[in-house]
Amino acid sequence: MINYLDGFAWIGGFHLALQQAVWKENINCIWFSEIDKFAKKVYQDHFPDSPDLWDITQIDIESLPDLDLVTGWFPCQDVSVAWRQSLDGWRTILVEYLLQILEKKKPKGFVFENVKWLLSEKFKEFRESVFERIREAGYYLHIQVLNTKDFWLPQNRERVFMVWYRMDWNTDWWYDFPEKQDLTNFLKEFINEEVDDKYYLSEEQIEKAKETRKGRTFPSWKRNWDMILDRNDYWYSLALTCSSFWKTSRQNNLVSDKKGLRLLTPSEYTRLQGFPDGWSSDIVSNSQVIKQMWNAVSVPVVKSIFDNLFIND
For 110-133, how does the pLDDT look when each residue is reduced to its tens digit (9 = 90+)?
Answer: 999 988 888 888 888 888 988 999
- Identify any residues that bridge with 161 across adjacent strands, giving them in sequence order: 113, 144
Q: Helix, strand or coil for residue 103?
A: helix
Percent of the chain with pLDDT over 90: 46
Give the helix ranges, DSSP H, for 49-89.
none
Q: What is the mean pLDDT of residues 187-201?
A: 90
Distance CA 240, CA 255 (A): 13
Cβ pair 140, 175 in contact under 8 A = yes
The domain 187-293 is placed in CATH, from the list 3.30.110.60, 3.40.30.10, 1.20.1740.10, 3.90.120.10, at 3.90.120.10
153 Cβ partners below 8 Å, 6+ apart?
185, 236, 272, 273, 274, 298, 300, 301
Closest residue by Cα to residue 71 from 15, 137, 145, 141 = 15
Surface-to-core class of residue 18, CB atoms within 10 Å of its CB (0-12 exposed, 13-18 middle, 19+ buried): buried
Residue 80 has pLDDT above 70, yes or no: no
Instruction: Choose, from 9, 17, 64, 76, the residue flagged as catalytic.
Output: 76
Closest residue by Cα to residue 241 from 89, 76, 123 = 76
Across the chain, the runs of DSSP E, i.e. the strands, are: 2-6, 27-33, 52-54, 69-72, 109-115, 139-147, 155-156, 158-166, 227-230, 237-238, 253-257, 260-263
- Identify any residues that bridge with 145 across adjacent strands, giving them in sequence order: 160
Active site residue 76: yes
Strands 27-33 and 2-6: parallel
pTM to 2 decimals?
0.88
Distance CA 271, CA 301 (A): 13
First CA to last CA distance, the chain: 11
Highest average pLDDT, of 12-26, 86-100, 220-234, comes from 12-26
Q: Any idea where the domains of the chain sit in the sequence?
A: 2-182+297-307, 187-293
pLDDT of residue 258: 84
DSSP 8-state assignment for residue 308: T
Distance CA 242, CA 250 (A): 5
Cβ atoms within 10 A of the Cβ of 293, count?
27
Residue 1 has pLDDT above 90, yes or no: no
Q: What is the mean pLDDT of residues 279-300?
A: 94
Cβ pair 230, 253 in contact under 8 A = no
Cβ pair 201, 262 in contact under 8 A = yes
Q: What is the pLDDT of residues 29-70, one digit of tens each?
A: 999 999 999 999 999 999 999 999 878 888 889 889 999 999
Q: What is the pLDDT of residues 211-269, one digit of tens each?
A: 665 544 333 333 334 566 665 666 777 777 644 444 554 566 778 888 888 888 999 99
Distance CA 235, CA 266 (A): 19
Mean of pLDDT over the chain: 83
Residue 78 has pLDDT above 60, yes or no: no
pLDDT of residue 127: 85
Closest residue by Cα to residue 266 from 258, 255, 278 = 278
2-182+297-307 belongs to which homologous superfamily? Answer: Vaccinia Virus protein VP39 (3.40.50.150)
Cβ pair 31, 50 in contact under 8 A = yes
DSSP 8-state assignment for residue 140: E
